[in-house]
Amino acid sequence: MKKIFLFVLLLSCLSEPVLGGSISESVFEHAAPPAPAFELEDGGRMPLDRYAPAEYGATTGSAFRQAAWSLLVPGLAQHRMGHSLRSSIYFALEGMSWIAIGGFLYQGYNEETAFEDYAVALAGVAGTGLSDDYYELIGRYPSSDGPGGYNEYLLREARDLYYPDLDAMEAYYESNVITGDESWDWRTEKAMDLFNEMRHRSDTAYRRALYAFVFAMTMRVVSTADAVRLARSREQPVRNEISLGIEPRRDGIILSVGRQF
């Protein structure tokens, strides 16, 4: 009869947040029940007031270690801590970021090679691999010499800056004039416009690659902060636990079981 009573009592404790009751003094004196406990797999016993679900007490390492994993690969720390949905999102964003970076770099390089070769073929530029300032310049003027060319503009600029000092005007012109291998002359205005379009596409692709890289680095910061927060929350004291209270009374005892949320 006593075993049946203890079994019912323990079952009621697990099914209700708070349970109150009384046991006769004679039963309490002659047959005090053992402290409620759970049997462990290794044969040991864990007291009821120390029990908590495994997912609340288990940790996979310090917050610093999880931060290091997230800096290496966003979502890796979340995966190691068992947050599969979070890690999948981070992995997907990381993969898309690097695919975008590679794709935009490839596009920018192809467009850059195209407009450099185009300038050689249709503007008479001596070669490829020249400075960005030079390619910007040949995209603004139809030629280096002649009417509407860069050198003509340079003469007007020297006059506006240094007139009536002829020596200063001549010195400015000679230091900035373009001649020889740096000369160019676009065959048609349409060819120059197409060159500028290719330069614009190349610059846009490189700029988008930079934006994608910044996004990838930002995701590392976000993932790291998220991993540290998750790791610290797992290392905090268990809150969702069951506690057992026993209060002696003259005619028996009051047994209470509570759970914190």
Which residues sit opposite 242 in a β-bridge? 259
Question: CB-based contacts of 196: which residues, under 8 Å, 6+ apart?
Answer: 139
Type and span of the H or E element at 243: strand 242-249
pLDDT in tens, 62-110: 888 888 888 889 999 889 888 999 899 999 999 999 999 999 999 999 9
Q: Which parts of 54-188 fold into alpha helices (H)?
A: 54-57, 63-72, 76-80, 84-123, 132-138, 150-162, 166-176
Domain boundaries, the chain: 2-52+238-259, 63-144+179-235
pLDDT at 253: 58
pLDDT at 30: 41
Type and span of the H or E element at 46: strand 45-47
pLDDT in tens, 139-149: 999 999 988 89
246 pLDDT band, cuts 50/70/90, is: low
CB 193 within 8 A of CB 138: no
pLDDT in tens, 199-245: 999 999 999 999 999 999 999 999 999 988 888 887 665 454 555 45
Question: What does the pLDDT average to over 153-175?
Answer: 91
pLDDT at 139: 95
pLDDT in tens, 122-139: 999 999 999 999 999 999
Q: Taking the model in full, what pTM does it have?
A: 0.62
Q: What Å distances lie between residue 123 and 78, 119, 198, 223, CA to CA?
A: 56, 5, 14, 50
pLDDT at 69: 87
Measured distance between the N- and C-terminal CA atoms of the chain, rounded to whole angstroms: 35
pLDDT in tens, 17-73: 333 333 333 333 344 444 444 444 445 444 433 433 344 334 445 888 888 888 889
**Given a cut of 50, is residue 5 above it in pLDDT?**
no
